[in-house]
Chain A
């Protein structure tokens, strides 16, 4: 098991461009989460999936943001028409869903750092 994998690790883009990030969860995990972390702050929840269904979206996820998990395995997070305020670390996590103590632990990837110039 290689853990949660995120790609790319770093992305520099110009304002107005579109960017897409990928997350590969731990293979047996059916839940996948996206968070955003700005400098000096704790991570903030964006959205999460159980299998391919998107179960919750934060108000932080504006119309320019879209996330997909088409086959219930990897997920992509796309930001359209990027703005300087989108500069942040985007973290992905995965877990087992359902009842039971072992099913509530989220494991995080190393993150994708986005810089919008």
Chain B
């Protein structure tokens, strides 16, 4: 069975500071990896994904994540955060041939001025 652990439930950070949101997963088979963002009272928006190829993936708004197979991690990073990045971030895995996503418990990123 697969599982996802997000190591920090809350991450407070000042504006323009760097941030890393940690995600580790457990799986005996190959997986696809995703980061979703959720703003208050909204659904989930796909932030970025690792399906294959380069282990470093980037989003259009400056986030990046690196797939590390040996450490079974997919940490999310941004070199300089904005107030508008305040949201809940979810890491998820999907078994390649399966349907469902398995989510971590989420990390609440709070960016302070």
Contact = CB atoms under 8 A, between A and B. Distances in A.
Interface string A43-72: 111001010000110100000000000000
B69 interface: no
Interface in B4-36: 4, 6, 32, 34, 36
B100 A48 contact: yes
Contacts of B55: none
- Residue with the highest number of chain B CB atoms closer than 10 Å, among A42, A55, A91, A101: A42
Interface in A91-116: 91, 93, 97, 101, 104-111, 113
Contacts, number: 61
Interface string B30-70: 00101010000111111001011000000000000000000
A107 B47 CA distance: 11
A19 to B, nearest CB: 19
Interface of B: 4, 6, 32, 34, 36, 41-46, 49, 51-52, 90, 92, 94, 96, 99-106
Given A40-B105, A45-B102, 11 more contacts: A6-B43, A33-B99, A40-B106, A43-B90, A48-B100, A93-B44, A104-B32, A104-B51, A106-B46, A107-B46, A108-B45
Give the top 9 A-B pairs by smallest Cβ distance, nearest first. Answer: A42-B103, A45-B100, A108-B43, A108-B44, A110-B43, A101-B51, A48-B99, A111-B43, A42-B105
Interface of A: 4, 6, 31, 33, 35, 40-45, 48, 50, 55-56, 58, 91, 93, 97, 101, 104-111, 113
